[in-house]
Homo-oligomer: A and B are copies of this chain.
């Protein structure tokens, strides 16, 4: 019984790692859809989001069942509670990638991101994707030290977002109002993907050390 319990708990964490990889793929593909106005890839991200939601429901039910049947305490309870939250973070990151894909689809065959902001979005998307990857690796390796690095990446993301706003708010914005609205929302989606990666990393730190990291970045779901 105990052995199967530990197997179940480990398989929940393994499946969270796999789900993180799927989310990373969703972020990468949604960026391709966005920057290349690639409709097929946009559709693929949107379809894959439904599969992420199914994984969310499955993992959540397994966590609940572990709580109900095993009355875990200490580190195991911490792991299960953190897992229930990480699965929600991951489902949300998948939704946000799908939002990016939906804007790409809406503007097809045009590109949603105007030429002058392509470098900014290329960087932003790369940082977001790397943050998801780092959070997944930190979880797989139970590595609080790697997880803690995400606070730096989040600052990089904030700077990129500020740079975006400087262009948006300049007096001589050379593109349409529609483009400005798209950029504002797309930037918000990447920023939120990054936020959730940081929050997820904070939960890894909590699982490994038993303590929540200090500071605003880690806590706001």
Distance in Å: Cβ of A85 to nearest Cβ of chain B: 8
Q: Which of B57, B64, B165 contacts A81 (CB 8 A)?
A: B64
A220 near B91: Cβ-Cβ < 8 Å: yes
**A15-44, CB under 8 A of B: which get 1 and which 0?**
000000000000000000000000000000
Q: How far is the CA of A183 from the CA of B173 in the complex (A)?
A: 17
Q: How far is the CA of A77 from the CA of B177 in the complex (A)?
A: 50
**A177-221, CB under 8 A of B: which get 1 and which 0?**
110110011001000000000000000000000000000000111
Query: For the complex formed by this chain, how many copies does it contain in all?
Result: 2
**Is residue A95 within 8 Å, beta carbon to beta carbon, of the partner chain?**
yes
Q: Which residues of chain B are near A180, meaning CB under 8 Å?
A: 177, 180-181, 184
Residues on A facing B (Cβ under 8 Å): 53, 56-57, 64, 67-68, 71, 73-74, 77, 81, 84-85, 88, 91-92, 95, 165, 168-169, 173, 177-178, 180-181, 184-185, 188, 219-221
Would you mind naming 15 contact pairs between A and B with Cβ atoms under 8 Å apart? Answer: A53-B220, A67-B67, A67-B81, A71-B71, A88-B221, A91-B220, A91-B221, A92-B221, A95-B220, A168-B178, A168-B181, A169-B178, A180-B181, A181-B184, A184-B184
